[in-house]
Amino acid sequence: MRQRFVRNNVIIARHKLEKRWQDSQAIDDFTKGPFDVWIERIDPCDEDDKRVQLKCSHYNPNKKFEPQVWNGFVNLTRALDDTWWIRAPFSIRSNNQWKQNAIVLTAQRNGCSGARNVLPPDLRRFTTKRGTPCSFKEGVSYFRNTSVKFEFPKFPQLPYGHYRVELEAGQQDEKKAEYCFKTIGHVIPKV
């Protein structure tokens, strides 16, 4: 009798654990998946750096399918090529604070090619074409009512949330970044 009671409790406990596992998988599947991105703001990391002046249109839930509109300019004072490194740590907003390094993308070598491979198609026009040596040309790139649709084919799923990204780029022999931009954006479910 005692052995049957213990066996029934083990079966019940196992059933509860399996149920909890299935519930957690359902929550996990709900918090990541196909996504859309909209950018809240783009600023230079240093307030004295005037090389980035961009304003982004606000997200309108009634017009989900319209791309975001950018106005402003980006001034590259030095050309960026494959001799540069790139680092992009993503912090996610959770419990009213930023959780550092939720996702970290790095390219120790071939920074330009790494960036070109993950850039949304609307921003690839600022680099050289595939099959040629990669470079972001020195100079000023203007955005005047430029529509930007963020699609990242290399990332089929991302966790939904409110992100802060500090994109840094520098030459391989230098530890200090030449360029640094802060971006705050949102990853939301694709509709």
pLDDT digits (tens, 9 = 90+) for 33-58: 788 889 999 999 998 999 999 999 99
Per-residue confidence (pLDDT) for residue 110, from 0 to 100: 87
Within 10 A of 91 (CB to CB), how many other CB atoms are there?
19
Q: Rounded mean pLDDT of 90-117?
A: 90
Spatial CB neighbours of 157, under 8 Å, sequence gap ≥ 6: 32, 33, 34, 35
Angle in degrees, CA 55, 57, 59, rounded to 5: 140
Cα–Cα nearest to 59, from 149, 181, 157: 149
Domains of the chain (ranges, CATH numbers): 35-189 (2.70.220.10)
**3-state class of 39 per DSSP?**
strand
CA 99 to each of CA 28, 37, 92, 104, 158: distance values in angstroms, whole numbers, following the listed order: 18, 19, 5, 12, 16
pLDDT at 160 over 70: yes
Give 1's pLDDT tier (boundaries 50, 70, 90): low
**What are the C-alpha distances in Å from 58 to residues 95, 158, 185?**
24, 21, 11
